[in-house]
Structure 1
Amino acid sequence: MTIDEIRDNFALLEDWDDRYRYVIELGRTLEPMPEQEHSADNKVQGCASQVWLSKRLGRDGGEPVLNYLGDSDAHIVRGLIAILLTLYSGRTPRDILATDAIAVFDEFGFREHLTPQRSNGLRSMVERIRGDARQALAAAS
């Protein structure tokens, strides 16, 4: 699924209960994360729920590419992770740093519909991935 498909589906749903159900459905599409990946190193700090992001560095020709698995103990957060990974996983560090995920989530209306704790957790996930991208760029140069 692409971010444009998610955007189009979101636009069709006017009621926030339906939008939340859709986000939870997106969370069910996440690739399963192996139990050993639920580690302290992969745990994202700053989230009210338990959140794990595991990174794999690959190559696309000469450029590094970051691939992610994500998981959470909260259904809605799994959906947010699914949207985030649609934006970022499989992308180069430059693409990641050029993509403003918070602006995309704001466009979807999440700023008004997420609790402050969930918003902080979302920012923590975005910062974790952007930090990984900065590290990968520094290592590649």
Structure 2
Amino acid sequence: MSGIAEKQQRLLEDLGIFQDWTERYEYVIGLGKKLEPIADSARDSEHLIKGCQSQVWLDAVMKDGRVYYYADSDSLITKGMIALFIDVLSGETPDAILTADMGFIEKTGLKEHLAPTRANALNLMATQMKQRALAFAG
């Protein structure tokens, strides 16, 4: 099992502890509150994920062959949702990120309780994170 798959499995197990979807959301919001701050210089239109209902800024840096992500949002739940992806993808190689199966987000059960625009934001986040990894590949 790859590092990403292991992190996805751990995250699903953590979320599985909660029986109620509102408890799962509280957990996700808590993840967002623990995110490392994004640089003020990354709070610009170049780092903004377009198409999200809320403002979401995403930055990525390459260190020692691995991609590290930083993000922020003006919405607690959106910040928590991108924290899920950062938890799974940050610190991995560009190739591992590009080949990662992001279907784990469906297994969380969170998407079905989101408004359609917020659910679509999850796809946009995953796509943007893979695009940032692609910029570092090769």
Which residue is equivalent to 1:53?
A: 58
**What secondary structure sits across from 2:16 in the alignment?**
helix
Following superposition, the deviation at residue 39 of structure 1 comes to: 1.3
Which residue is equivalent to 1:113?
A: 113
Distance (whole Å) between structure 2 residues aligned to residue 132 and residue 31 of structure 1 = 18
When normalised by structure 2's length, the TM-score is: 0.88
Following superposition, the deviation at residue 55 of structure 1 comes to: 1.0
Identity of aligned residues (%): 33
Following superposition, the deviation at residue 69 of structure 1 comes to: 0.4
CA deviations 1:50-97 (Å, max 9, x no partner) are 0000111222xxxx3211101000000111111100111111111101
Which aligned pairs between 1:31-110 and structure 2 lie closer than 5 A? Answer: 31-59=36-64, 64-101=65-102, 103-110=103-110
**What secondary structure sits across from 1:46 in the alignment?**
coil
Distance (whole Å) between structure 1 residues aligned to residue 94 and residue 41 of structure 2 = 25
Return structure 1 stretches of 4+ with deviation > 3 angstroms.
2-5
Structure 2: 5+ residue runs without aligned partners? 1-6
Distance (whole Å) between structure 1 residues aligned to residue 123 and residue 37 of structure 2 = 23
Which of 1 and 2 has greater Rg? 1
Which gives a bigger RCO, structure 1 or 2 (Cα 8 Å, sep 6+)?
A: 2
Report the AA paired with residue 22 of structure 2: D
Following superposition, the deviation at residue 121 of structure 1 comes to: 1.2
Following superposition, the deviation at residue 134 of structure 1 comes to: 2.2
Structure 1: 5+ residue runs without aligned partners? none
2:13 aligned to which of 8, 11, 19: 8
Q: Does 1:23 align with 2:20?
A: no
When normalised by structure 1's length, the TM-score is: 0.86
